[in-house]
Amino acid sequence: MSDPQVVARLRAAGCVWAEDEAALLEEAAASPDELEGLVVRRAAGEPLETVLGWVAFLDRRLVVAAGVFVPRRRTELLARTALERTRAVPVGRGRPVVVEMCCGVAPVAASLEGTHAEVHASDISAAALACARSNAPSAALHLGDLYGALPTGLVGRVDVLAANAPYVPTDRVAAMPPEARDHEPLVALDGGVDGVDLHRRLAADAARWLAHGGVLLIETSPGQAGLTIGAMQAAGLATRVETDDEVGGCVAVGVRPDVVSR
């Protein structure tokens, strides 16, 4: 049973699930002094996940750290869809090539550990990539902005390109929960005026990097899915939207035609 004083302190700080959080913090602490430090950080408003150093994601514990974007459960749909599309690549095409763009701590790449895919993950945050190295040790990691981070040898070879690029409209960032707004990088949250600036950039160059029949997967919101899909269609991709109400996930899917236009 958790220490009642710890529970009371967390509850007073506004933690809705104070009992559960106290149990996790007590499990993580190696000593009373360490527990005190963790409780102080959590009571001050730091996200539970970065206090613990991990977040639960598809039956895994992904390493996270202060100052990085923490994967949400909704992104499990993106990861599951990427895994399904990877497994669907015809054997005759050889080893599937997968890229997780704007990877953060690499939840999608982590879900592909143990497959035979050639996995790449990229982000502009060195701190996020340090976590990604632990979560997806088999993936090749690249630091840089979108396609500029990728080796040119991937041009025309990518079977699955998945991205959880920021999609919160600029004027809505201030209304986000303080755990995200005050503790996660703005660049990982702000998606521009309508939230899909990066989606347009991803879609515009996707066909150059995708193999014939390759797929672009972008996490979006139901309200912005039409804009994300429109960007994919403008780039010549065949589109549809996948949703999962249980986790609140929404993924725009764009497929490069499997034949070369004449």
Break the chain into its structural domains and give their ranges. Answer: 4-63, 75-255
- What is the DSSP secondary structure assignment for residue 39, as one 8-state letter? H
Do residues 203 and 231 touch, judged by C-beta distance below 8 A?
yes
Do residues 18 and 34 touch, judged by C-beta distance below 8 A?
no
Class of CATH domain 75-255 = alpha beta
Integer Cα distance of 131 and 125 in angstroms: 10
Per DSSP, the three-state class of 240 is strand
Residues 6+ apart with CB under 8 A from 262: none
Integer Cα distance of 133 and 109 in angstroms: 10
**DSSP notation for 154-176:** GTTTEEEEEE----B-GGGGGGS
For the entire predicted model, the pTM comes to 0.93
Dig out the tokens for 64 from the structure: 């996270």
Burial of 193 (C-beta count, 10 Å sphere; 0-12/13-18/19+) = exposed
pLDDT value, residue 194 = 96
Binned average pLDDT, 10 residues per bin, the chain of 262 residues: 89 93 95 95 94 96 96 97 96 91 98 96 98 98 98 98 97 93 94 97 97 97 96 97 97 86 38
Integer Cα distance of 247 and 203 in angstroms: 25
CA 254 to chain centre: 18
